[in-house]
Amino acid sequence: MLRGRWIAMLLLCLLVAGVFAWLGQWQLGRAVDTAPQAPGATEEVRPLTEVVDPGEYLPEPLVGQKVETEGRWIAGDFIVVSSRFNDGAQGYWVTGQLRVDERTSIAVAVGWAPDRESADAAAKRLEADADGGDVTVSGRLISDEGPVLPTRDDPERLDRMSPAALLSRWHDVEQLDVYRPYLASTTATAGLIDISSPAPEEGSSVNWLNIFYAVEWAIFAGFAFYLWYRLAKDAWEREVEEFEDAASA
């Protein structure tokens, strides 16, 4: 172990272990939220522009945050989304494009309907009132559910509340900025039923997955020294065997 070759190997293992230790410290720093949101913070209605910017992902602590914004509905963009549950009952959402700025929009779930006929009728009423000027909408910000491929029997059907999927069907979208999350309106209109959207559960300020990763990095750092010891010992045992063979010969 005192030979130059093995001392150089030890220095290399020290470097590797140092990198692993830094990664473990980084994971520990991310494991504990030093500035968690106060209990009930998501129930405080905040302006949309203070919570998230267009095109940005919604941070996990802000999922379910109540927000308020003003805008105007875009005619022709009231779309029905299927497979929506309201207090355990399956039904439909009527969604719309709310233009909150000159070239900025957010997808809004306006309300819930128990059947497709009621949803389509509500969408028609919303279309008729789309040119009524600016409206104020408040609700919860929810992360994009992600688009899925449509079924062959009904290619126009949407089963996910995905602003990306809705954007492909909206009008007047050239150079349009769109919010990644969508807004689930607190108060339904056009004869729809209010969307059941309870407050999100209070999460822990400790991320145990990151702590597990930190422990893994510590184990890797220890393994680097064990590897050096094992290789050096194997080399020593091999020399001893060669010496004994030479002596017996």
- For residue 151, name the pLDDT band (cuts at 50, 70, 90): confident
- For residue 33, name the pLDDT band (cuts at 50, 70, 90): low
pLDDT at residue 38 tops 70:
no
Of 26-35, 110-119, 154-163, the one with minimum mean pLDDT is 26-35
Which of 60, 69, 63, 70 minimizes the C-alpha distance to 42? Answer: 63
Rounded mean pLDDT, 138-166: 87
* Residue 63: per-residue pLDDT: 87
* Residue 204: per-residue pLDDT: 57
Q: What percent of the chain has pLDDT over 90?
A: 59
Q: How far apart are CA 142 and CA 160, in angstroms?
A: 12
pLDDT at residue 203 tops 70:
no
Q: Which amino acid is at 126?
A: L
Q: Are 94 and 116 in contact (CB under 8 A)?
A: no
Rounded mean pLDDT, 24-33: 79
Q: How far apart are CA 150 and CA 147, in angstroms?
A: 9
Q: How far apart are CA 18 and CA 8, in angstroms?
A: 15
- What lies within 8 Å, CB to CB, of 234 at 6+ separation is none
pLDDT single digits (tens) 47-64: 999 999 999 998 888 888
